[in-house]
Amino acid sequence: GAGVSQSPSNKVTEKGKDVELRCDPISGHTALYWYRQSLGQGLEFLIYFQGNSAPDKSGLPSDRFSAERTGGSVSTLTIQRTQQEDSAVYLCASSLEQGVEQYFGPGTRLTVT
């Protein structure tokens, strides 16, 4: 079946602009996660959604970052007033429930110039 999909695959933006990154999880997966993979910081957890519960935002690096999940499916990660240090690959993952295997999408490579 279809895996986790993310769009766009690549995004180049100017410093100070806002960007939106999209994630389509595997159908039926109730949990959705965002991670960031960068050269300096490795793989970092950003935010987690589970069903109708309040999201775990403990990994968001600043208030310029936000995410929403509409209808328990598609999620959008928004970065406002982008900075060069936001350049990274943003990975989305989904799973059936907490603690079991997470399936990762191919990522969105964000470059802030």
Partner 1 sequence: GNSVTQMEGPVTLSEEAFLTINCTYTATGYPSLFWYVQYPGEGLQLLLKATKADDKGSNKGFEATYRKETTSFHLEKGSVQVSDSAVYFCALTPYSSASKIIFGSGTRLSIRP
Residues that bind partner 1 (CB under 8 A): 31, 33, 35, 42-45, 48, 50, 56, 58-59, 91, 93, 98-99, 101-107
Least distance between partner 1 and beta carbon 85 (Å): 18
60/82 with CB nearer partner 1 = 60
CB of 71 to partner 1, least distance (A): 20
**20 or 103, CB closer to partner 1?**
103
Q: How far is the CB of 47 from partner 1 (least distance, A)?
A: 9
Instruction: Give 88: exposed, middle or buried? Use CB within 10 Å, 0-12, 13-18, 19+.
Output: buried
Nearer to partner 1, 19 or 93 (CB): 93
| Residue 37, CB-side half-sphere exposure with 13 Å CA sphere | 11
